[in-house]
């Protein structure tokens, strides 16, 4: 609770209010009082909220290089009616914790005209003419996103189901090999963990009943597969 209050703190003031008449106390004469005023960021109940999203640029292979979208904001807020945008940089989002709070002590300026920016083109599934890319030097990218693991490597990856028996005895198991595409979303919530050539994916517990959706060609498509081939999805997308 103390951490949440600190994150929402915007400003503090200390004012001295002198007394009209001196008052005695065990510590001496009281000449005035100190008033501490704290200002906190709080949402307006009458105001429609912005929907907050965290863009996660997953590395992908492009022109024989390993890259990802550059200069992406840490968070974006979208107004459902006016489609106004709010962008938080990494520095601005340092004191934000949108997982448990509806406000942030730092609120950037609301922007109205973002048709020429990369984030607008990503969200509207239009050609990414305003986007920049940057090299991604690491061999492996793994990030937990909801009920999925997002992973990216240079090429396809061989994996096996990983199961650790509780006893110290050997166990005969039928672990079929799984070939993952270079860029993919993998769900391990209904299967065992995966042990791959360069990384290990633990089994995920089911966090919610909501399904993953892919936004393509101005349509929202629910996806229920355990392995989603983002590599093919990206390279087959003309945008």
Residue by residue, DSSP assigns 166-208 as SSSS-------EEEEPSEEEE--SSS-EEEESS-EEPPPPP--
Across all residues in the chain, what is the average pLDDT? 80
Among 157, 180, 195, which residue's Cα sits nearest to residue 229?
180
Average pLDDT over residues 72-87: 83
* Comma-separated ranges of CATH 2.40.490.10 domains in the chain: 46-137
Is pLDDT above 70 for 45? Answer: no
Bridge partners (DSSP) listed for residue 2: none
Burial pattern 160-194, b for ≥16 Cβ within 10 A else e, equals bbbeeeeeeeeeeeeeeebebbbbbbbbbeeebbb
Average pLDDT over residues 161-187: 78
Is pLDDT above 90 for 138? Answer: yes
pLDDT at 42: 62
Torsion angle in degrees (nearest 10) through CA of 57, 60, 64, 70 = 0
pLDDT band of residue 44 (cuts 50, 70, 90) is: low
Q: What is the CATH T-level fold of the domain 46-137, as seen in this structure?
A: 2.40.490
């Amino acid at each position: 609770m103390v951490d949440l209050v600190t994150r929402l703190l915007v400003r503090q003031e200390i004012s001295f209010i002198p007394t009209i008449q001196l008052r005695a106390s065990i510590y001496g004469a009281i000449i005035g009082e100190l008033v501490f005023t704290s200002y906190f960021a709080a949402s307006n109940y009458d105001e429609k909220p912005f929907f907050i999203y965290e863009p996660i640029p997953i590395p992908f292979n492009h022109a024989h290089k390993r890259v990802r979208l550059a200069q992406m904001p840490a968070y974006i807020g979208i107004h459902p009616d006016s489609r106004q945008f709010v962008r938080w940089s990494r520095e601005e989002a340092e004191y934000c914790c949108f997982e448990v709070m509806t406000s942030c002590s730092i609120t950037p300026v609301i922007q109205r005209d973002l048709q020429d920016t990369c984030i607008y083109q990503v969200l509207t599934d239009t050609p990414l003419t305003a986007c920049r890319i940057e090299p991604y030097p690491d061999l492996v990218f793994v990030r937990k996103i909801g009920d999925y693991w997002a992973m990216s490597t240079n090429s396809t990856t061989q994996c096996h189901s990983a199961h650790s028996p509780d006893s110290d005895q050997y166990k005969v198991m039928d672990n079929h090999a799984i070939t993952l595409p270079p860029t993919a979303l993998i769900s391990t919530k209904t299967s065992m963990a995966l042990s791959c050539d360069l990384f290990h994916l633990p089994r995920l517990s089911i966090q919610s009943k909501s399904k993953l959706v892919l936004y393509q060609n101005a349509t929202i498509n629910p996806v229920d597969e355990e392995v989603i081939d983002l590599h093919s999805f990206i390279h087959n997308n003309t945008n």
